[in-house]
Structures are given as C-alpha cells and as structure tokens.
Chain A
Amino acid sequence: MHYINIIITMASLSEEVLLVVKRVRQRKQDGTLYLMAERIAWGPEGKDRFTVSHLYADIRCQKISPDGKAKIQLQLVLHTGESTTFHFSNESTALKDRDVAKELLQQLLPKFKKKANKELEEKNRMLQEDPVLFQLYKDLVVSQVISAEEFWANRLSLNSVEHSLSNNNKQEVGISAAFLADIRPQTDGCNGLRYNLTTDIIESIFRTYPTVKQKYAENVPHNMTEKEFWTRFFQSHYFHRDRINTGLQDIFSECAKEDEKGLKSMVTQGVKNPMVDLLSLEDKTLDEGYGTATVPTTSNSSNKSLRENSNSAIIKRFNHHSAMVLAAGLRKAEAPSDQASETSSTDGNSRDSDLFQPPLKKVKLQEAIEYDDLQGDSVRKTISLNLKKSDRYSHGPIPLQSQHYSTSQDIINSISIIQHEMRSYKPRLTQVMSSSAASSAITALSPGGVLMQGGGQQTINQLVPTDVQSELKHLYTAAGELLRHFWSCFPVSTPFLEEKVVKMKSNLEKFQMTKLRPFQEKIQRQYLSTNLTGHLEEMLQAAYNKFQAWQTRRMMRKT
C-alpha cells in the first residue's frame, strides 16, 4: 500500500525576518537586532517593540570597528547625518555575528539606495532629456519665481501616473509549464511516495486548472482535510496519464470532463488569426470519393488500440495544459484591456476606433507580404492615434451649448460626398471668366498683391533678430507653465488650492516684473515697433481678471 505524505510549507505572511542577532547593545542597553526585508530594527531585552528602526532606504552607509578593537561595533549613518551604533556583546560569537549582519546589510543596502536616488536621478534625467523643461527650470526655479518643489510637484505627478500603474499591478508572474514536473514524487524508502507541495505549486495548479480550485473550495474543509484532498488528487487518474479511465467514485472525474469541455469550446471558438486557420487553408475542391487519399472510415476510433487512444490522450492533454498555462499567465494582463474596450464602447467611441483599425486579416496579410528591406527609408512606421473622443479632438474644447457640430461620421460622409462630386466634376468650359480677369485675380491673391497686404506674419521672421525670438519663446514656455499651474487650481475647492492660487498669482506678478518687463524694455531699446509681448500680457491679464473675479466672489461669500 502506498501512502502519500504531503508537506505544505506556507510562506510567512507577516514581515519577513531575514536575520535575528541576540545580545546586541545599543546605548548601553541589551537587546536584539532584527534585519527585515525593508528595515533594520532593534528592541531592548524583554520588550516586544522596537525602539530603533531604520528603513534601509534611509541608511547612507554602514561602518564597522576595525579588527582587533575590544568593542565590536557596527555603525549606521543615515542620510540625515544621524548615526546609530550597535555593540555586539556576545563574547564568543560577537565577531561572527557582526560579520553576518554586515554581509547581509551589504547585500541589502545597494538595492534600497537605488530606490532613494531614483527620484533624484529621474529628475536629472528629465532635465537632461528635455531642453525645454531645462530652460523652464532655469527660468522659473533658478530665478526663484517658484520653488523647486512646486515645479516638480506637477511634473512628477504626470510621470508617476505611469509609475503607480506599473507599481500597483505588478507584473504578474507566469506559471512554469513544468510545475507538475516539480512535484515529482520521491520514494521515501518504505514503499511510499512523498509529494512536496508548496504554496507556489498549489497556486499554479489552481490557476491552471480552475476546476480543481472549484473542487477544493467545495470539499475543503467540510468534506475532507486539505491533506486528504491533495492525497486524492495525486491518486486520481486525473493527475495521471491514463485519464481516459476515470472512475466514477473519483471526485476529479468531473474535472476531466470539464477540461474536455473547455478544450472543445476552445476549438469551436476557432482562431482569430486567419493565417493559421487550417480549416480554411485549402480551397477544397475534391468531393468525397475523389482523390487518392484514403477515406477516413467512421469505424476508425473504435478499432484503435488502447495504446493509441492513450497516446492521443496525452497529446490532447499537452495541448490543453500548455493552453491553460498560457491563459493563466495572460488572464491578468487581459483584464484591464477588456475593461478599456468596454469603457470606450460605452462612451460611443468604439465606432471610431473600428473605423480606423484595419481588420486583423488585412493586417496579417500585410505582414506576410511585406519586405521591409526592399522598401526605402521613406516608409516610416506610424503610430495610430487612439482617441477617446475624436469629436473633441477635431473641434477643440468648444462650449457645449453650441449644439451644431458635426460628428466624425458626418465629416467622413461629407468628405466622401465631396470626393464623389469631384470625381464627376466637369468644368463648364463655356461659362468661365475671361483669362484677363482670371490672371488679375491671381495677381491680387499672390503675395504682394492687393488682397495680400495684411499678411505681415511672414515678415516678423525677418524683422526680429533671432536672439530676441528665442528669448520670446522661452518667455512663452515659462508663462505657459505658470499659467498652467494657475489655471489648474480652478475650481478652487480646497484650502490647499486656495493657498496655491494666491501663491500662483503672486508668482505671475513676479514673473511679469522680473522677466517680462526687462524684455519689453529691451525691445523698446532696440526700437522694434511690433508689439511682441501683447499676447503674453493679454494672457496674464486674463489670469488676473479670473483671480479678481474669484477673490471678489470669495469676499462676498465671507461677508
């Protein structure tokens, strides 16, 4: 009789303790030093709380007392400049204890150091990569229009959206395809088999075979213990290759059937990619009875030997297993994208995206016939613009009350109508204007002509020297940034925003005084007639007006 022994090692759910060193003194007090996954802590003897606790991220470096010194110590220097010293006081093993702790810290600290510096590096990188941002930083922060924190507060939050995304849904770890192989039974010497199960493997089994999970939920713990469940699992034919002989008393026979069903439904669902669809591969023209290939006989399956049957069962099972493993890995990744497509369809956008996305078949065909290397460089891969609301994109933020704007469908329709008209367009050659009239009209419409006088736009390029132009550009970006901060405060709903809006207003004024004025004076000195800063001033004025309005309203409410 075989018996099956199962060991389930549970990983500790609480904080993981990597190292415990007893008899460590700190400030002349005996205690215990704990090295945990993210922090180092020390608690005095006999108390169950830590009096010293440092995150690894806060630690700048560790120092140790030189060999040969009487006191064996380890000092931690924090980023803030403070330091903590531990004294290893266990006479016999002090040196060894210290070295073990040191080694471990040595491994741990660099990991966290990166994390701490990451933010700074990130800022640095952003400034280096983006010259516009760097200019802005110089204009606003270096000249102390706004503080560095304010400047970054907004920037990093933009970035951290991506960060938080990647941090929150950490990339799902896939399942090893060979997880069943990892539970190879070991004979334990007395005619028994021993399976080692870890939580990871159980997790893998559950994720790959949801039916087993379901069985587990049904039966454990009311009908049987966990151990019993797994014992049965390994005894079951379900787990073994000759799955075709599942007995009725086996609780997993149902699972096998479910699997079969799942496989069938997968098959009947068919494939999305037409290039791998073997069913439609052939333009099948041979009728039944023609051709040299032998006709598959109906009695075929029944006269197959048992061995052949079990062989094909293995093949089926492998396909199913691989598909399930693959699906388990993808399930998590697919979920959000499903959601996204749902939301997009609810906001009436799906039609647009359908319109612009070529069907899968076309894409696959295109891929199949493309020769990248024959193509010249001119062909550059374009990224398709994925719009949530394409109407908004093509019209800009128009106030909503103006009801009469056309949908993209209208536009497409009208384009096609115009195209259609253009195709059938025939010039009525008898009723055209005389050539002299036409040529005079063309002259009038040419640059320098009567109708083109107002076009001063082009000349500004030549009128204004380049250094002034670039300065103006900087001013624009700086003003734009400040105004963005300003406008982002509205509607002012929290006290924090109130504070910010006031500060921003003063920032704007400061900007006008320290940056804009000198520039205006400079222009005046150079006798440039055109009013280059008019628009900037208008923008600032608009902000001031808004601020005024908001302030008066607030006053009114207060009184």
Chain B
Amino acid sequence: MIPKLCYFLKLLVFIILNNLILKLKLNIDGLLVYFPYDYIYPEQYSYMLELKRTLDAKGHGVLEMPSGTGKTISLLSLIVAYQKAYPLEVTKLVYCSRTVPEIEKVFNIIYIFITHCIINSYFKIAFQIHFSSVKYLSFLALRFGKEVDGKCHSLTASYIRAQHHSNPSQPVCQFYEEFDAVGRQVPIPPGIYNLDDLKDFGRRKGWCPYFLARYAILHANIVVYSYHYLLDPKIADLVSKELAKKSVVVFDEAHNIDNVCIDSMSVNITRRTLDRCQTNVETLQNTISRIKETDAAKLREEYSRLVEGLKEANVARETDMYLSNPVLPDEILQEAVPGSIRTAEHFVGFMKRFLEYLKARLRIHHVVQESAPQFLKDIYEKVCIDRKPLRFCAERLRSLLRTLEIADIADFSAITLISHFATLVSTYSKGFTIIIEPFEDRTPTIANPVLHFSCMDPSIAIKPVFGRFQSVIITSGTLSPLDIYPRILDFRPVTVASFTMTLARTCLCPLIVGRGNDQVAMTSKFETREDFAVIRNYGNLLLEMSAIVPDGIVAFFTSYIYMENIVASWYEQGILENIQRNKLIFIETQDAAETSMALEKYQEACENGRGAILLSVARGKVSEGIDFVHHYGRAVIMFGVPYVYTQSRILKARLEYLRDQFQIRENDFLTFDAMRHAAQCVGRAIRGKTDYGLMIFADKRYARADKRGKLPRWIQEHLTDGSLNLTIDETVQLGKHFLRQMAQPFRQEDQLGLSLLTLEQLQSEDMLQKIAQIAQQA
C-alpha cells in the first residue's frame, strides 16, 4: 500500500507574531486577545475563557458550542494570542478538521483574521497549505493520486538519484533536485499559503511543492489539515512525526472522531485482494531471480544490513518514505529482522505461505469471529508461522521493494495491504477482532468472503496524540453527552464544557411529533416501520410541512434502504404528487455525483423561490458535510431515530468490547450514537444567530428522557414540555406561528446587548456574571 501522500497536508501556517492592530481588544483572564470583529457573542467570550484555562493547565479539553457561533474564530484568536504572549509555551497550532470545505473555511477565517489584524508592515506571517496533488506540477497528465505517487517515487527515489549521478541520462525530477539543493536553506517568505499558493510558489522557485510542504510544516506557526494526517499511523509517521511537543492540537467537528480512529486501523481483505496479492508475489519472485543473476551483491548487502539491524540508517532519506508502518510508533520493534525472513527468497516464500493460509481461511461457509491471539495460534498450528516475523512484515516488504529498486510501487497495493494486516494482527492482541463472513447478510446465496480485521478501540489510534502534545482540544457543535468522549477515547480532560447559544429571539424550534392525526404512534422502530399507517403519517407530515414552510425543507431518514421503501410507498399512495404541488422533490442517492447534482438543483430551486424538499439519509454524505443555511433549510425533519444497523457483527463486537473495557452499556452507546447523528442532521439548518429553522423529530421515542437528554444542550433548552408528543396538526400550528414570527425583520440592534456585545457591554459587571452561566461544566 502506498501511504496517502497524495492527500497530504492541507494547510500550514507560519506566523511570526508581532504587532497586531485589531478591532476588538479583549482581556481574557489576563491575556490580551485580538478579535477581528466589532462585536462579540457572549458565548465566544466564555469559550475563550475555558480555552485559556485549558492551555494554562497544559491539558486536554472537550468543548461543545453550537455551530454558527463563531467557534473557529474564537479558537484562532485565543490560541494565536497565547502563542504571542507565551512563545515558549505554545509553539504551534495544529488545526484538524474533517471535510475539505471545512478546511478551506478555516483557512479563509485565518485570512480574515490576519488581514483585519495587521497594518504594521513588520508583521510577518506565513501560512501554508499543501496537498500532494501538487505533484501534478510535474505530472499533469496523471489523474490518480496513486499514479502520481508511483511516478513521483520513480523519479525521486534515492537509488534513482544515485544512478543519475553516474548516468545523467537517467531522468530525475527537476523540481525535487532543485528543492533538495537549495530549498532547505532559503527561508520561505512569511505569509499565508494555501494549496494553490504553495503550488504557485513552488512553480516560481522550481521547487517541488510537496517536499517543500513537508519541510515547511515543521516551521509553520499554524497548520491546518485533515484528521488523517495526525490519526492514521500510516500517514502521521510521514507527515506529523516531527511536530513539536509544545503544539496545541485542535480537532474541530470532532463528533465522529472515534470512527476516524477506528477506520485508520482497520483492514478488509476480500478474495480479489488475495488474487492481486498473488500476482504481486509472483512479480516479486521473478524480479528476485532476475536480480540474482545480474546483481547478487545487492541482495547480499541487504541481507547483511538486516542482520545488523541497521535499516534505520538508510531510511532517513525522505523520498524513500513511501511505505510506512501501519502500527503506532511506540509499537514498532527496534530490533533486527528475524532470520527466517531475512533473505529475499525466504521472505517471498513466507508471504506465499501466509497468502495461502488466508485463502484457506476465506474458503469457509459459516461466519467466524476470533480474536488476534486465536488467529495467531491457528496460523502457527496450520502453517507454522510465528508471531515475530509477522510483526516485521511491513518493514521487511519496504526494505525489499527498495532493494529491488521497483520504481513503480503503485501496483503493489495488495501485498502492502496484506503485510500491514500481518503486522497489525501480530502487534495488537487487544482491541481488535477478526470476522470472516462468507457472504453478505442480504445476499446469502452469493459467495463473497470478506475478512474484516477491525479495530474496536478508538483510543488506540489517538493515544499517541494525547500522549505527545501538551494540549488537545476536541470541539464540535454536537458532542453531547460530553462525558462519553473522554471515556471512549480514554483520556483525562482538564476542561469539559458545553456552551449554549445566547439568542435575542428563539430562532430554533425543536418539535417532537409522536402521533399522526389519527393518533397512531409515529416511529421508525423496527417492528412498526413497515406499518402502512406509520408511512402514511410520515407522508402526511411532510405534505403538511411542505405547505407551510417557505423555501427549503430537508428531511432525513434513518437509512438508505428505509428511504427507498418509504419513497416507493409514498409514490404509490400519491403523497409525493401532492407534495410536488408545493415543492420540487430531490432525493439523495448512493451515487455521490448524482447527489451533488440533486443538491445543486435543490439549492437552485430554493434560490429562485420555487422551494424544494431534499430527502436525505442520516450518516450519509449530505448529513455530514453540507450546511443548509438560511433559506436552504427552513425546516429539518428527522424521520425516526437514526440507530446504526445493529445486526452488523463488527458493531456487535465493538459494543461488547465497549461494555467489557469501558463499562459503557450497549444501549447507552447506541442511543448516544443515534442521537449525535440526529443532532448533526437537525443542526445542519441552524448556522448562525440570524438564521432560523424548524427542527422536527418525527418519532415518539425522542420524547423519552434518555433520548432527549442526549441532545446537545443548545437544542434541549428550547424543547419545552408542551412540544414533546405532538400530532401533525399541532406541529403545523406551532410551525406556522414560529415561521411567521421569525420572518419579521431582525436587525442588529435587536441583538445588541443580549446576544451580541460591544466591548463596553462586555466589560460590565452583570454581563460578566451572565457569561459565567453560559458554560456548563459536565
């Protein structure tokens, strides 16, 4: 496998903090903070206070604040000010976000921040962004990251460059050569660099922007990139290894961070993988025998190097770091490769044996679930493979590929995957499970064996991050209940706080609809979800809402299949036709391109006043990454409680693990998971204090205290007892009233002093007291 250099860092930032001239100068607990706006929200002030305490204590924090209250700018303002005040305490800000648009937003906020702050020309800042698609510079024709990686490696690998010395006709990458010659000595001019800027800079200088960024990341004051660069050991090893300990790491939009952790450590192996791996092994074998005839010395040299355990001496070359270890740095064995796989032939033979074993395991007819030690025991009994050589698989393969001077590494992804699996399974005895399924549950007749090696413990991947950096801030709009994150990620935060949104008018209106007009309970419970009456009532709810809500309505279903079925029966019942009289209907599909188009059309329809409905899926891409600001989403309807598919074996294993290890009951976790997704979905519509929207939870189960209590505080607050078990008619009445009120003009003066403060108002005594109540410690 090729480490994902291709989607490397997003942004890095340099700041040499000096003189700032700012709109607001705030005194946050004795720290002078510059704020690039004329006004400030009270909760922003409160947020900064908590943040400051966390930084002071050099500990970790979990902070929940609704989106649209200026979380990012508060974070940036405070941490940059902190950096300026205590340059020795905090040297770097590493800002991690989830989606690309999110990252770009952060970047633009930095831009605003800086441009508003600086007048003084002495001020030097540099921000950088990077993306390894910058490799396109030299290989414009290649479309896929992998190919670019392969091509890049074939031009920059150390042995290629060595050959170039003796034989100038050997092609090398000019951009890299240029960078290697001078790039590291010349300081990068201070400034803000995003991906394009850096590419531009690289083009001007003739330097490879990819390596430039990897180098620059170490010197930047602010780095903005994706989670994976820090959490995925395969990438973190390359990118983030040398980040200073005194950095502040921020995970924004962190409500799904446990899933990212788990994903980065899990492996799936299908029959196709094994087949491709087979061809890889054959290629390796042929190459070895060829080299043996021509250049046996090389193989001998590698052997002796492995004997001495000196592999590291050679590894330092940055361009050779294309394959990294899938396990976390402190688990990598710092000793010589065991003798059984030291020679190239032996290693290939070893891999062959391993491969055959896996093939045999996949040839089963019933589901098998076992732990890593069980698997290791079995493999030892069946094919006599020891644990220790397995652990070295990834390292050994890397060494071999380098020795064989295989330039185009793109083809070897299958064998890399297998070697990573070998290393992972033999390294971790706890927190992982192996599940072999001979077929998919829905199609039991078609054999499609898959081996899932899945991580169940998110704390494994994130542990080094908490261990290494002095402050890690986990923040999002929806982190409730707050105590669960420290438990599943296994860390001890110094501050845990949830902030509400101060509002001059209640611009959100959460309603729980439990019954139809015929008093039949509405729920997506498994037993009743096919019930005709439930489906009809859901349809009626949407129909009624489409008649009273202006512009856009977004509706979320619990799963894709459920949505398909409901849409079909709505179609049969003629409900959709009636809805079409009011609004256009767009539906999310499993195809991302198709959905993008539907989304754009949806926005277009909202824009030109026609109004539209988007039917979408919780946990889908839309619910995770698309905001429906203002008229794009005047109402969100959540049909049912979005529980995860509980029959999945991987999930069951994880639940068991959580129960045994962290004492979290299955039901608690499932509800927590469902409610965070529901909150994510409904939160998509409110993106600021000037925005407004209805939030309709269409399931009677939401009214129960255990569900309701897990919603974020800023939603819970507005959920009155009177709106807990409404019928459709009541919902329509309340909704009408709410929308009519909200549609009245809303000016800045209305907010001032309540949810928007000037500096003077902020400094008044009773306001400070009020602000103290905004943060709720968990």
Q: Does A associate with B in a complex? A: yes
Q: Which residues of A contact B264 (CB under 8 A)?
A: 286, 290-291
B764 CB to nearest A CB, Å: 19
Q: Which residues of B contact A537 (CB under 8 A)?
A: none
Q: By the criterion CB–CB under 8 Å, are A178 and B581 in contact?
A: yes
Q: By the criterion CB–CB under 8 Å, are B268 and A282 in contact?
A: no
Counting CB contacts under 8 A, is B125 at the interface?
A: no
Counting CB contacts under 8 A, is A130 at the interface?
A: no
Q: Which of A275, A283, A367, A374 contacts B7 (CB 8 A)?
A: A283
Counting CB contacts under 8 A, is A461 at the interface?
A: no
Q: By the criterion CB–CB under 8 Å, are B266 and A280 in contact?
A: no
Q: Which residues of A contact B160 (CB under 8 A)?
A: none
Counting CB contacts under 8 A, is A480 at the interface?
A: no
Q: Which residues of B contact A303 (CB under 8 A)?
A: 443, 445-446
Q: By the criterion CB–CB under 8 Å, are A276 and B748 in contact?
A: no
How far, in angstroms, from A523 to B454 measured CA to CA in the complex? 97
Q: Which residues of A contact B445 (CB under 8 A)?
A: 303
Q: By the criterion CB–CB under 8 Å, are B593 and A375 in contact?
A: no
Counting CB contacts under 8 A, is A202 at the interface?
A: no
For chain B residues 430-456, which have a beta carbon within 8 Å of chain A?
440, 443, 445-446, 448, 450, 452, 454-455
Q: Which residues of B contact A307 (CB under 8 A)?
A: 568
Interface string of A257-285 (1 = CB under 8 A from B): 00000010011111111111111111111
How far, in angstroms, from A343 to B230 measured CA to CA in the complex? 51
Binds A, one of B37-45, B134-142, B329-337, B362-370: B37-45
Counting CB contacts under 8 A, is A368 at the interface?
A: yes
Q: By the criterion CB–CB under 8 Å, are B565 and A311 in contact?
A: yes
14 new A-B contacts, CB < 8 A, other than A269-B597, A276-B596, A319-B586, are A177-B580, A177-B584, A177-B585, A241-B571, A273-B600, A279-B596, A281-B625, A287-B417, A290-B267, A303-B443, A318-B586, A319-B589, A319-B598, A322-B585
Q: By the criterion CB–CB under 8 Å, are A178 and B37 in contact?
A: no
Asked, given contacts A181-B577, A299-B446, A365-B104, whether A292 binds B262 with beta carbons under 8 Å apart, the answer is yes
How far, in angstroms, from A373 to B501 measured CA to CA in the complex? 14
Counting CB contacts under 8 A, is A463 at the interface?
A: no
Counting CB contacts under 8 A, is B663 at the interface?
A: no
Asked, given contacts A270-B596, A278-B596, A326-B610, whether A287 binds B1 with beta carbons under 8 Å apart, the answer is yes
Q: Which residues of B contact A277 (CB under 8 A)?
A: 596
Asked, given contacts A271-B600, A373-B690, A373-B751, whether A291 binds B268 with beta carbons under 8 Å apart, the answer is yes
Asked, given contacts A178-B578, A278-B622, whether A283 binds B1 with beta carbons under 8 Å apart, the answer is no
Counting CB contacts under 8 A, is A82 at the interface?
A: no
Interface string of B377-398 (1 = CB under 8 A from A): 0000000000000000000000
Can you give 8 contacting A-B residue pairs, CB < 8 Å?
A: A178-B577, A290-B264, A292-B268, A297-B270, A312-B589, A319-B601, A373-B39, A374-B37
How far, in angstroms, from A181 to B573 measured CA to CA in the complex? 12
Interface string of A283-308 (1 = CB under 8 A from B): 11111111111110101000100011
Interface string of A382-426 (1 = CB under 8 A from B): 000000000000000000000000000000000000000000000
Q: Which of A266, A275, A330, A373 contacts B101 (CB 8 A)?
A: A275
Interface string of B444-484 (1 = CB under 8 A from A): 01101010101100000000000000000000000000000
Binding site for B on A (CB under 8 A): 174, 176-178, 180-181, 184, 241, 263, 266-295, 297, 299, 303, 307-308, 310-312, 314-316, 318-319, 322-323, 325-326, 329-330, 365-369, 371-378
Counting CB contacts under 8 A, is B604 at the interface?
A: yes
How far, in angstroms, from A278 to B268 measured CA to CA in the complex? 24
How far, in angstroms, from A288 to B72 measured CA to CA in the complex? 33
Q: Which residues of B contact A371 (CB under 8 A)?
A: 37, 70, 688
For chain B residues 238-270, which have a beta carbon within 8 Å of chain A?
259, 262-264, 266-270
Q: Which of B589, B591, B604 contacts A326 (CB 8 A)?
A: B604
Asked, given contacts A283-B7, A285-B226, A285-B235, whether A180 binds B594 with beta carbons under 8 Å apart, the answer is no
Q: Which residues of B contact A279 (CB under 8 A)?
A: 592-593, 596
How many B residues have CB within 8 A of the partner chain? 98
Smallest Cβ-Cβ distance to A364: which chain B residue: B101
Q: By the criterion CB–CB under 8 Å, are A315 and B567 in contact?
A: yes
Q: Which residues of A contact B593 (CB under 8 A)?
A: 267-268, 270, 278-279
Q: Which residues of B contact A267 (CB under 8 A)?
A: 591, 593-594, 597
Q: Which residues of A contact B600 (CB under 8 A)?
A: 271-273, 276
Q: By the criterion CB–CB under 8 Å, are B568 and A311 in contact?
A: yes
How far, in angstroms, from A525 to B103 measured CA to CA in the complex? 74
Q: Which of B2, B37, B413, B564 contacts A312 (CB 8 A)?
A: B564
Q: Which of B112, B448, B756 contacts A297 (CB 8 A)?
A: B448
Q: Which residues of B contact A286 (CB under 8 A)?
A: 4, 228, 232, 263-264
Counting CB contacts under 8 A, is B280 at the interface?
A: no
Counting CB contacts under 8 A, is B769 at the interface?
A: no
Q: By the criterion CB–CB under 8 Å, are A318 and B269 in contact?
A: no
How far, in angstroms, from A378 to B38 measured CA to CA in the complex? 9
Q: Which residues of A contact B1 (CB under 8 A)?
A: 287, 289-290
Q: Which residues of A contact B57 (CB under 8 A)?
A: none
Interface string of B343-381 (1 = CB under 8 A from A): 000000000000000000000000000000000000000
Q: Which residues of A contact B232 (CB under 8 A)?
A: 285-286
Counting CB contacts under 8 A, is B587 at the interface?
A: yes
Q: Which residues of A contact B594 (CB under 8 A)?
A: 263, 267, 316, 319
Q: Which residues of B contact A308 (CB under 8 A)?
A: 564
B41 CB to nearest A CB, Å: 7
Q: Which residues of A contact B601 (CB under 8 A)?
A: 319, 322-323, 326
Q: Which residues of B contact A241 (CB under 8 A)?
A: 571
Give the A-B pair count, Cβ closer than 8 A.
238
Asked, given contacts A270-B596, A311-B568, whether A292 binds B454 with beta carbons under 8 Å apart, the answer is yes
Q: Which residues of A contact B756 (CB under 8 A)?
A: 373-374
Q: By the criterion CB–CB under 8 Å, are A285 and B7 in contact?
A: yes
Q: Which residues of A contact B40 (CB under 8 A)?
A: 374
Q: By the criterion CB–CB under 8 Å, are A276 and B37 in contact?
A: no
For chain B residues 589-630, which have a beta carbon within 8 Å of chain A?
589, 591-601, 603-605, 608, 610, 612, 621-622, 624-627, 629
Q: Which residues of B contact A288 (CB under 8 A)?
A: 413, 417
Q: Which residues of A contact B612 (CB under 8 A)?
A: 322
How far, in angstroms, from A275 to B103 measured CA to CA in the complex? 12
Best-buried of B100, B564, B598 by chain A (most CB within 10 Å): B598
How far, in angstroms, from A367 to B40 measured CA to CA in the complex? 19
Q: Which residues of B contact A178 (CB under 8 A)?
A: 577-578, 580-581
Asked, given contacts A285-B4, A290-B417, whether A365 binds B586 with beta carbons under 8 Å apart, the answer is no
Asked, given contacts A291-B263, A318-B586, A372-B690, whether A283 binds B10 with beta carbons under 8 Å apart, the answer is yes
Q: Which of B100, B269, B629 contacts A281 (CB 8 A)?
A: B100
Best-buried of A282, A285, A318 by chain B (most CB within 10 Å): A285
How far, in angstroms, from A315 to B273 measured CA to CA in the complex? 33
Asked, given contacts A285-B235, A289-B273, A319-B594, whether A273 binds B589 with beta carbons under 8 Å apart, the answer is no
Counting CB contacts under 8 A, is B700 at the interface?
A: no
How far, in angstroms, from A314 to B597 measured CA to CA in the complex? 17
Counting CB contacts under 8 A, is B171 at the interface?
A: no
Counting CB contacts under 8 A, is B105 at the interface?
A: yes
B42 CB to nearest A CB, Å: 12
How far, in angstroms, from A272 to B689 measured CA to CA in the complex? 28
> 9 closest A-B pairs (Cβ-Cβ)?
A376-B38, A181-B577, A178-B580, A285-B228, A374-B37, A283-B226, A177-B580, A291-B263, A322-B584
Counting CB contacts under 8 A, is B574 at the interface?
A: yes
Interface string of B71-97 (1 = CB under 8 A from A): 010000000000000000000000000
How far, in angstroms, from A290 to B461 measured CA to CA in the complex? 14
Q: Which of B228, B571, B591 contacts A314 (CB 8 A)?
A: B571
Counting CB contacts under 8 A, is B108 at the interface?
A: yes
